[in-house]
Structure 1
Amino acid sequence: MLSRQGDPLRSGEGLVPGNPDGMAAFRGHRGRVHLVRNHENRASAALGVPTVDGLTYDQAAKGGCTALELDSRGAVLGERVAIAGTAVNCAGGPTPWNTWLTCEETEDKAGTNGYTKDHGFVFEVDGADPRRTGAVPLTAMGRFQHEAVAVDPRSGTVYETEDAFQRPFGLFYRFLPEKPLGGHGSLRAGGALEAMRVPGVPDLSAVQETGASFGGVEWVPVPDPLAAGTPIRLQDFGPKGITHAQKLEGCYWGGSSVYFVSSFARRSEGSAGDHYGQVWRYEPGRRRLTLVVVFGPDTDIQLPGESPDNICLSADGGLMVCEDGNGAQYVLGVTRRGEVYTMARGRQNTGTPQEPEWGEFAGVTFSPDGLTMYLNCYTPGTTFAVTGPWR
């Protein structure tokens, strides 16, 4: 265990915030590792991220990120605030220049929930030196209920998921930066935001068969990325419409493709089909979208394989997936052949012996050398390191 909510931050800035979510690990000097960790705190959170001068966007918001520094043996050297004053920081993704893009999963504007500024943005965070990035919203990347991002290390294109809670559900986006792969601060230069249209597929939940594949994927310019009057998913994308999906969450780049997750879909909530979770792969070079994994048992959601959330590339070239569902919570592995297996189970019971409850896993990521897996338990907020071997 590396960190626990409510304990003092080693920086002296306050207490470790609650609700740790998305996370990434970056290489530091002399074998050190920098972990940057989201805190998905709303305005009502009891353990918010402490505000720090120069690192705070909105004094009224309680979300943000903390950063841990580990030595070459994995011991914690430091723990500090990396950004504060943001809202509902759910997931995000690493950049090729070793910064973290943290995502606000909200569309609240100034004046809502006591906020003094608009929210729903992506922010860049440098875990080694947070003051290099500060607290500047990357407005051109859109204002919506962000979940996660993944950067194509060849082109610099940034892919983004939207976890919208009501119909019409979220979209899958790509952001084309003015300065692709430009390094620290380059994303502030702006760019173009587009949404994915899969011809003939208005709702991804209607696709149920593993291996189903769709060519000719189109990208449609977003009319108003700042959503000044209308949320993006409700804007007019022309007579052909746009492709939606319920609970778009984890997003990760691997090989020559971007992978993204739909945690579940329910007809009763307005989706075209029912499922316990999907993993999709988009190949930019071929403009092709393929359903690579379908999760979940048909009858018993207490069994593993329900509601996948955060996702990352595993050391063996497959995937690691965090569960966020009912019953026992697992970290699941997915082999290159698409087989799902259980890797770890949460044992922190937040309920009673008679009616146990377990917090979701989140933020799964590997150390730069691939020898350690890091992950968070959302409730109670805990960060773990799991050593291999990961051959």
Structure 2
Amino acid sequence: MSATRREVLARSGALGVGIAFTGAMSELFTGTATALGHTGYGPLVPDPDGLLDLPEGFRYRVLSREGDQLRSGEGRVPSNHDGMAAFAGRSGSGSGDRHGGRVVHLVRNHENRNTGRIPVPTIEGLTYDPMGKGGCTSLTVDSRGNVLDERVAIAGTAVNCAGGPTPWGTWLTCEETEDKAGTNGYTKDHGFIFEVDPAHPHRTGAVPLTAMGRFQHEAIAVDPKRGIVYETEDAFERPFGLFYRFLPNKPEGGRGSLRAGGRLQAMRVPDVPDLSSIQETGATFDRVEWVDVPDPLAAQTAIRFQDFGPKGITHAQKLEGCYWGGRSVYFVSSFAHSSEGSAADHFGQIWRYDPDARRLTLVIVFGPDTDVQLPGESPDNICLAPSGGLMVCEDGGGVQHVYGVTRRGEVYAMARNRQNIGTPEEPEWGEFAGVTFSPDGRTMYVNCYTPGTTFAVTGPWRR
């Protein structure tokens, strides 16, 4: 793992007190609620059970832990809980619970490599490559927070990191790898996106959406008006990843529509080869171009190495979270380190692309003066919150948080991971991932990556 922001600051002695970032945060949000106070929902209360610290008035329920038995009887709950989304149960699909309410379907990624601790069990009709250890599991939760079912949703994939929901109620799970058949024991090429039906996985099966590209996928967001799918690439070495859009042949969408193919393009910002070189929030580029990817399947050469012509293409380190809000797509660069090849250093950026205006804007820059015990390290998975602000999963060094960012730009701690996977002398905490809200906004679901744990958090969200 590359050095985190906190490790760099600790070595340099540059640690400060509190959060330091700039940006016009009101541009980010489309909700109507007013901003929270300077301390969000208040200070975190230590959890006597040592799992999850939350503000007073909030409570959690553990829905699932790695190693437990899946309720379907298909095997054990896999490791490395990552990206996740929540979907409302649909009428006629067995969606009602015994209390007369509706259920929520959670689809959860498992970022297992070929050495994953507990692999996703292989299931007939749902397995892409039997040597792949990653995939997704699906949980069905009733209106009282009880888990009614938990089963495999797709198997035989690899390094399922993030993804995103579609407007038609499916999940697109993304493989964060470029391994080909014959590498690391795999029998098929990897680095694809797969569609998963949260309620009926066998309806989508395990079919790679090859036209959407083969690269180190991170997350996606779908433009509900045009059907365009935006994709981030989290490449681990230079040249770093690209920001893509996929123009589907069937833009009206619907389950299975992406199998009809389309055109994959990469973003070019003229005269900006590396987004990390932009440091001023509010910086705007009105001539964003989209360039066809020469070989989306990367048969011989990884896409980010391919020839995009004399003008080149725009790269960025650690492109991760991606979501649609209002009329724009937002995407996250978790950090950039010049020592690793980026043009400049930053500790988290959020960018906004407006497709109507073809305009790219740097909305926020995080860091650098953040105390190691406070939230604000390396933004990763991200979602809109009922308050109208953001919930962000922290993926860096030191203590790990889910932190909120209000519409006024205030950062506050929402949850703190208490599961120590290190030692008492040298504690270590796993990252958070997959933060998402139930369709009614009353429950926040979030994963602890390791030990793999899925939490449901309830409380006064609209306070």
What TM-score do the two structures reach when normalised by structure 2?
0.83
Distance in 1, Cα, partners of 2:174 & 2:283: 30
Maintained 8 Å contact 1:93/1:100: yes
Separation (CA, whole Å) in 2 of partners of 1:46 and 1:344: 26
Please name the residue that 2:345 is paired with: 274
Give 5+ residue unaligned stretches, structure 2. Answer: 1-61, 90-94, 97-101
Q: 1:60–1:85: 8 Å Cα contact kept in structure 2?
A: yes
Aligned match of 2:231: 160
Residue 93 in 1 paired to residue 154 in 2?
Answer: no
Q: Deviations over 1:260-293 (max 9, x none)?
A: 1101100000000111111111111111111112
Displacement of 1:301 in angstroms is 4.2
Any conservation in 2 of the 1:280–1:293 contact (CA below 8 Å)? yes
Corresponding residue of 2:7: none
Check if 1:22 corresponds to 2:83: yes
How much has 1:343 moved relative to structure 2? Answer: 1.3
Please tell me whether the aligned partners of residues 269 and 285 of structure 2 are also in contact (alpha carbons under 8 angstroms).
yes
CA contact (8 A) 1:161 1:249 kept: yes
Q: Paired residue for 1:324, among 373, 395, 398?
A: 395
Give the structure 2 partner of residue 192 of structure 1: 263
Q: Secondary structure at the match of 1:188?
A: helix
Once the two structures are overlaid, the 10-residue window that deviates more, 323-332 or 279-288, is: 279-288
Q: Which of these residues, 9, 19, 40, is aligned with residue 70 of structure 2? A: 9
Structure-to-structure mapping, 1:232-243, within 5 angstroms: 232-243=303-314
Q: CA deviation at 1:299?
A: 6.3
Seen in structure 2, the aligned counterparts of structure 1 residues 275 and 51 have a Cα distance that, compared at 3 Å, is same
Shift of 1:47: 0.3
Distance in 2, matches of 1:32 and 1:303, equals: 35
TM-score (norm 1): 0.98
User: Is the 2:84–2:436 Cα contact (8 Å) retained in structure 1?
Assistant: yes
Distance 1:206 1:301 in 2: 25
8 A Cα contact 2:370 2:376, kept in partner: no
Match 1:374 to one of 433, 445, 451: 445
Aligned pair count reads 391
Structure 1: stretches of 5+ with no match in the other structure:
none
Q: CA deviation at 1:338?
A: 3.0
List per-residue Cα deviations over 1:130-170 (Å, max 9, x = no partner).
00000000000000000000001111000000000010000
SS of the residue 2:344 aligns to: coil
**Structure 2 residue identity aligned to 1:257:** S
> CA offset at residue 316 of structure 1?
2.0
Report the CA distance between 1:72 and its aligned residue: 1.4
Q: Which amino acid aligns with 1:291?
A: L
Please name the residue that 1:60 is paired with: 131
Once residues 66 and 141 of structure 1 are traced to their aligned partners in structure 2, the CA distance between those partners, rounded to angstroms, is: 23
Specify the code of the residue in structure 2 equivalent to 1:367: S
Q: How far did 1:39 drift?
A: 0.1
Secondary structure class of the residue paired with 1:131: helix
Residue aligned with 2:211, SS: helix
Partner residue, 1:309: 380
CA-CA distance at 1:296 after TM superposition? 2.5
Contact 1:96 1:181 in 2 (8 A): no
Partner letter of residue 334 of structure 1? V
Give the counterpart of 1:292 among 363, 367, 379: 363
Q: 1:255 matched to which residue of 2?
A: 326
Identical-pair percentage: 81
Give distance in 1, aligned partners of 2:392 and 2:165. Answer: 17
Equivalence for 2:49: none
Q: CA deviation at 1:341?
A: 2.1
User: One-letter code of the match for 2:449?
Assistant: Y
> How far off its partner does 1:302 sit?
4.4
1:176 aligned counterpart, secondary structure: strand
Quote how far apart the aligned CAs of 1:181 are. Answer: 2.9
Aligned partners of 1:362 and 1:377 also within 8 Å: yes
Q: CA deviation at 1:317?
A: 2.1
- Residue 201 of structure 1 aligns with which residue? 272
Give 3-state SS (helix, strand or coil) of 1:2's partner: strand
CA distance in 2, matches of 1:181, 1:319: 28
1:123 lines up with 2:123 in the alignment? no
Quick check: 185-194 or 314-323, which moved more? 314-323
Does 1:70 find its partner at 2:131?
Answer: no
| Cα distance in 2, alignment partners of residues 203 and 130 from structure 1 | 39
Query: Which protein is bigger by CA-based radius of gyration?
Result: 2
Distance in 1 (CA, whole Å) between partners of 2:223 and 2:123 is: 32
CA contact (8 A) 1:293 1:338 kept: no
